[in-house]
Structure 1
């Protein structure tokens, strides 16, 4: 691992919780930094800056009240499906330089066809012990990784977990085309493979968590692999039909093909989760509550061990409580 100097916090368009993390965990920095926008995109709270929309990436039709429940296994369907990107380019968010935060190492992992993409991940510094350590792969919100995300990881680290936050393709000036909840899942799986093979990490106690955009990716990744012991998506949106109807500027794929939305919607494959889940959202996020309730209903009917929890607060202010519940859930699963 390569040690890196800490970099000053720079706010970005939808860098999830950057300002919140600074406010909660580093008040001195908060006083010196004017917090801009926080990411609430996965729960449909729009920011002011938008992307240029390729006219070929048509706006989807009205989102169905109940997206279809499909019978196939999501992991198997992924092997057969290839997203059709009509608008290729980087992730839409502004970003800060990729410099590892204090207390983290910056490492690289390979993803993409033939490992063509070399992507950055941040890993907590830790000492190897005779007994391998449990690990948490945390998927950040928004579409860029920032220093503020790392500040939120302290509870996991204090609880004894090795923590990795990966960036994904097209983020922070890296190579690869942003696809919006599809090819990024392959990056998540590649990052998890890197994490579970780190020296001193217990591959049998590899946990998955994520917030907002990262919460949606956590759902899809938990349906794609059996390697996670448990997962805790936080404020993720399981319904891509609704998400992209609200944010058509983020559509890079062929929106005329309903399969593109289905393959980005955990709610369509809720029976495919391959580990126990605790799905959380803030009590002020009433707009996604019905979708998450339907997700849980379908998952339970499919034999999945799933809990649905509401945490007091807003999309951002609830995260601290969600992380605390995440740790408790992981401990209960791997007691």
Structure 2
């Protein structure tokens, strides 16, 4: 797991420029009304599944291979391999608690290099707990899958494209475990992982609930990072950008971000345009892109254990 770094001032400025260009592109009229945004972003008649069906992505660059995933020692996790279209891929899954029960579970993708996994069992600071330890503390089975091209996995990184299929394959592995309730599987991720889970959620109704923290609206907002197709190819980037596929989401989805994180120009763009009642957007005051993770995970974990996520603005006030 590569930790996501706070963007430099130069990178932040580039992101603002990209957002401005996106807004110009999405709104052909001189004045960009909320109705025009909704029509452009949330009313695309084509589904993401249909758009992907006959599309052949072209990968133009690759990053150096990563290292083998660490083997957890004295941990609640075990290292496993799950079957995928490109071959066996590594994942961390919490062990069978041995109580003979089926438990709710979540598939979680971290930020940064979300194709690779690393130490998620060592205690992390509360202001940036990307191990989402609150889920395990609540007794929720947690799976961190690596994806194609990450660690020393087979396949090539595709950046928010083929990884969607890997995520679905990981979910089937998790659902088959004897100590997991296959009807109580949730999906979640942070930062780049948050972007990916929005795309996964637009292709299936498999999940009981979906949590996306700190996503971007469009893959262009990464400034060329984390994508391996031609970033100037609109067809490629469109299929990697959640803002175009909001209308496809069928499971309850919660998109959240700290008020001083990626809200303005990213999540707010989707929130303003969204016409899908299955998706709710929450701006969390008093938190940034990282500090928002731990308190949100604790609240969400309690609701998963209770049987269903039911976030509302009142329950998200004064998070610490």
TM over 0.5: yes
Q: Aligned equivalents of 1:158 and 1:111: distance in 2?
A: 29
Q: 1:215 to 1:155 in 2, by over 3 A?
A: same
Pairing of 1:270-281 with structure 2 (within 5 A): 270-281=246-257
Q: Aligned equivalents of 2:78 and 2:110: distance in 1?
A: 17
Matched, 1:213 2:206: no
Q: Aligned equivalents of 2:196 and 2:56: distance in 1?
A: 17
- Does the residue aligned with 2:151 lie in a helix, a strand or coil? helix
Tell me what 2:202 maps to: 223
Tell me what 2:95 maps to: 125
Pairing of 1:195-274 with structure 2 (within 5 A): 195-243=174-222, 246=223, 248=224, 250-274=226-250
Asked if structure 2 preserves the Cα contact closer than 8 Å seen for 1:240 and 1:265, the reply is: yes
Tell me what 2:128 maps to: none
- Does the residue aligned with 2:82 lie in a helix, a strand or coil? strand
Tell me what 1:296 maps to: 271
- Does the residue aligned with 1:169 lie in a helix, a strand or coil? coil
- Does the residue aligned with 1:278 lie in a helix, a strand or coil? strand
Q: Aligned equivalents of 1:305 and 1:329: distance in 2?
A: 17
Q: 1:172 to 1:226 in 2, by over 3 A?
A: same
Asked if structure 2 preserves the Cα contact closer than 8 Å seen for 1:119 and 1:174, the reply is: yes
Tell me what 1:110 maps to: 83
Tell me what 1:147 maps to: 119
Q: 1:125 to 1:294 in 2, by over 3 A?
A: same
Tell me what 2:107 maps to: 137
Q: Which moved more, 1:64-73 or 1:198-207?
A: 64-73
Tell me what 2:308 maps to: 333
- Does the residue aligned with 2:143 lie in a helix, a strand or coil? strand
Q: Aligned equivalents of 2:188 and 2:171: distance in 1?
A: 11
Q: 2:284 aligns with which of 310, 315, 326?
A: 310
Q: Aligned-residue CA RMSD in angstroms?
A: 2.9
Q: Aligned equivalents of 1:322 and 1:334: distance in 2?
A: 12
- Does the residue aligned with 1:87 lie in a helix, a strand or coil? coil
Pairs aligned (count): 278
Q: Aligned equivalents of 2:10 and 2:119: distance in 1?
A: 22
* Deviation, structure 1 residue 74: 1.6
Deviations, residues 3-51 of structure 1 (Å, cap 9, x unaligned): xxxxxxxxxxx822xxxxxxxxxxxxxxxxxxxxx4346x99969xxxx
Q: 1:202 to 1:90 in 2, by over 3 A?
A: farther
Asked if structure 2 preserves the Cα contact closer than 8 Å seen for 1:169 and 1:178, the reply is: yes
- Does the residue aligned with 1:164 lie in a helix, a strand or coil? strand
* Deviation, structure 1 residue 328: 4.3
Tell me what 1:82 maps to: 56
**Normalising to structure 1: TM-score of the pair?**
0.73
* Deviation, structure 1 residue 319: 1.5
